[in-house]
Amino acid sequence: MTIAPHGARADDAPTGPDDRDRSAAHAAPEAPTAPGQQPSPRACWAADLERYGARAFLREQSVWAVAVHRWGRAIDRRAPGLTRRVLTKAYWLVFRAVETATGVSLPKGATIGPGVRIHHFGGVFVNERATIGARCTMRQGVTIGSVDDDGPAPVIGDDVDLGAYAQVLGPVHVGDGARIGAMTVVLQDVPAGATAVGIPARIV
């Protein structure tokens, strides 16, 4: 799941709460996504909002963190230059403010597929080197990170469900459709469709 190297338009960034429905209605059609290629930040954001439902900005703190993540990814798709440097500096200011306010850390370096959904408030941390597939669900207290500083981070497949305070750490792969129970610590691979629970995780 990699971002295409070509540049992006300035309006790829997520819009504010009053504009999101209008933007979705009038957005230009997205080009087909090649196999193994992540959709554009705009397409990912549209899928996110579909999962969050109506009035998400008034009901769910985490949607603000998701919006900033998509905005950061859109900035990274811009051509190098002054505008990108200025927007990147602005991104980091907004990222820190939203991270502090919501307790959800989704750095733009992380690859997060379309349709992500984070339930409840706070304590969610995703490593900037992590990869998360499409339509994944997280809850409060989830950590997707490395064991050591600058160490490898997990790869999470599509349609994975992570319970409250689940920890997925290190160079592990969680297969598509897997379920990680609340307070589970995952240090080894989890097969597709499996359910993992416990400390350390075991398949049930």
Tens-place pLDDT, residues 153-165 = 999 999 999 999 9
Q: What values do phi and psi take at 157, rounded to 5?
A: -75, -170
Tell me yes or no: is domain 15-24+40-203 CATH 3.60.15.10.
Answer: no
Q: Is 126 helix (H, G, I), strand (E, B) or coil?
A: strand
Q: What values do phi and psi take at 64, rounded to 5?
A: -65, -40
* Cβ partners under 8 Å of residue 185, min gap 6: 166, 167, 169, 198, 199, 200, 201
pLDDT digits (tens, 9 = 90+) for 176-198: 999 999 999 999 999 999 999 99
- Enter the pTM of the model: 0.79
Q: Domain ranges in the chain? A: 15-24+40-203
Going by C-alpha positions, the residue among 198, 161, 154 that lies closest to residue 176 is 161
pLDDT > 70 in the chain, percent: 82
d(CA 63, CA 85): 25
